[in-house]
Structure 1
Amino acid sequence: MAPALDGVWGKPTSTPDWCERNYEVTVYIAEFWNTVSNLAMIVPPAYGAFQAWRKNLETRLVLCYGFLLVVGIGSWCFHMTLWFEMQLLDELPMVWGTLILVYTLAEVSKPAHTNNYYLMAGLILYGTVITAVYLTIKVPVFHQVAYGFLVAVTFFMSLRLAWQQYFEVWLFAAATLLYLTGFLVWNVDNSFCAELSSARKSLPPLVVPFSQFHALWHCFAGYGAYISILYCCQARLSHLKQECRMKLGPVGLEIEVGKSRRTSRPKSQ
């Protein structure tokens, strides 16, 4: 836990308090760098959700972007205030958004305009149980294990799709590398907080932000998750025989959909 200074949000009520020193930059933001780094989980998915909606992609794909955006906003509010209520706005959408990604990956090869209601029910039940238990026990490790299990599931599902060659493998590799790098720096931040805090005292001011490893986790994992959704979109469109390709855009990579895309919005979820 980092030393606390006085700020407008009062004493932290969240279960974790990360390695960044509280209110060091401004009294209005408890953890400045951990807060602003969430732009990596806000701007790309906001743009992706808008583009997916504009291009008439399936609702499930729009929701994948949308939940990543909610996670980014929730994480911003959490690190800005260190309130438990804002912590839930960060952590619970992580679970529910990943459940939507699991559903989307599982249904990649299914015909258009179809839904797997049994799978939906099972995933909703899983999310409901995790949410209820976490709200009861309020133990961060429980959330981390439940979320980590879902991430592992999406990894192996995505790996299976890569073997089936629905899309370019490099996209899967890029998403995996970014997320694993984020997970690595997250663990370093947790395990070596005292050493990092001591080292920051001798670092030039311009270098200090790059020593905020939890903030780097947001950047790597956030953009890795965004690319994972791109990867899922390309797999789905490839199965539907829809022309698509990756291109550079305002937020880095984005998907370009061919002109033959149907104009009516699909009813599948």
Structure 2
Amino acid sequence: MGHHNRHYGGDPHAHTGVWGSPTSAANFCEEDYAVTSLIAEFINCLSNAAYVYFALRYPQKARPGASWYQKLDFMAFSLMGVGIASCIYHGTLRQTTQYLDDLSMFLLAGALLHPLYAAHQTPSVRTLVGLVLVAVIGGMSVIYVRSGNILIHTYTFIALLTFVWPRALYLIHRTGSRSDAEKRALMRSFWKAVWAVGVGYGLWHVDLELCWQLRALRDKVPMPLGWLLEMHGWWHILTALGASHFIRLIRSVTDGADHAAVKPKET
């Protein structure tokens, strides 16, 4: 059954939160306001710190003495934005904050795609790539928010991510003058990212499809050990890890690409 058909609302403490009863279309397996009346989904909220951590942990190369924010590119800021937006959403479970979370995922996808498809292109083509991404992501964002249909968000996000990996593989193997050792190192980073996202996606489905079993098991495990069974929290941690691997991979395969695209041919 698709995740849009799973909604775990109506928990015993759902009406006690300071943000009011949840109104979001998505409500995950963690019990609402079970830990504190200030945070709707405690672990799902706090686990978003992983996005911020990895965004700050692996900044881009920058000149010596640069400030911390000067070492963060748009991909890092977008990853951090996902963590902040998702934390706000899981902390409040309001429909408006769910839109904030969902649209931040679109922004991250666009941030990953632009450097990949702009690499080794002329300035005019790089501008065109940016305009196409803005038009597609902006248009689908408006359609999604106006309709409120979570499937529009899901399929759009999947489609955007589907364009990431083939272009990354192309840049690893078909461009530049990389040695076999360099290609192997880049492929290790690629598969680490795929593995992390894949396992996280699997746990996300476990959280939705086996929620009642997980809740029963958590009731038998003393806290805070029971929190380790909050699978949506692991989804946050693992996708943050996978996204950080992809960001570092994209930086590696596109480093110097703009310069190469406009470098005059030798005579």
**TM-score normalised over the length of structure 1:** 0.80
What amino acid sits opposite 1:163 in the alignment?
A: H
Pairing 1:65–2:76 present: yes
Which structure features the higher share of strand residues? 1
How many correspondences in the alignment?
Answer: 237
After TM superposition, what 4+ stretches of structure 1 lie above 3 angstroms from structure 2?
A: 46-49, 51-56, 164-167, 238-242
Pairing 1:25–2:35 present: yes
Unpaired runs of at least 5, structure 2: 1-7, 261-267
Pairing 1:136–2:154 present: no
Deviation of 1:108 (Å): 2.6
Q: Distance in 2 between matches of 1:86 and 1:52?
A: 33
What is the aligned counterpart of 1:41 among 31, 51, 67?
Answer: 51
1:11 matched to which residue of 2?
A: 21
Q: Distance in 2 between matches of 1:41 and 1:53?
A: 21
Q: Is the CA contact 1:15–1:84 (under 8 Å) kept in the aligned structure 2?
A: yes
Pairing 1:209–2:227 present: yes
Percent identity over the alignment? 25
Q: Distance in 2 between matches of 1:171 and 1:181?
A: 16
Pairing 1:159–2:164 present: no
- Cα deviation 1:156-211 (Å, max 9, x = unaligned): 22222333357521111111110111111111111111221122111232321111
- Pairwise mapping of residues 151-230 of structure 1 onto structure 2 (< 5 A)? 151-164=161-174, 167=183, 168=185, 169-230=187-248
Please identify, of 9-18 and 158-167, the stretch whose mean Cα deviation from structure 2 is larger.
Answer: 158-167
Q: What's the RMSD between the two structures over aligned residues? A: 2.4
Unpaired runs of at least 5, structure 1: 243-269
Q: Distance in 2 between matches of 1:54 and 1:42?
A: 22
**TM-score normalised over the length of structure 2:** 0.81
- Cα deviation 1:105-152 (Å, max 9, x = unaligned): 1123347x7762222221111112111111111111221111011111
Which structure features the higher share of helix residues? 2
- Cα deviation 1:13-35 (Å, max 9, x = unaligned): 21111100011111111100001
1:84 matched to which residue of 2?
A: 95
Q: Distance in 2 between matches of 1:179 and 1:215?
A: 13
2:132 matched to which residue of 1?
A: 122
Please identify, of 213-222 and 140-149, the stretch whose mean Cα deviation from structure 2 is larger.
Answer: 140-149
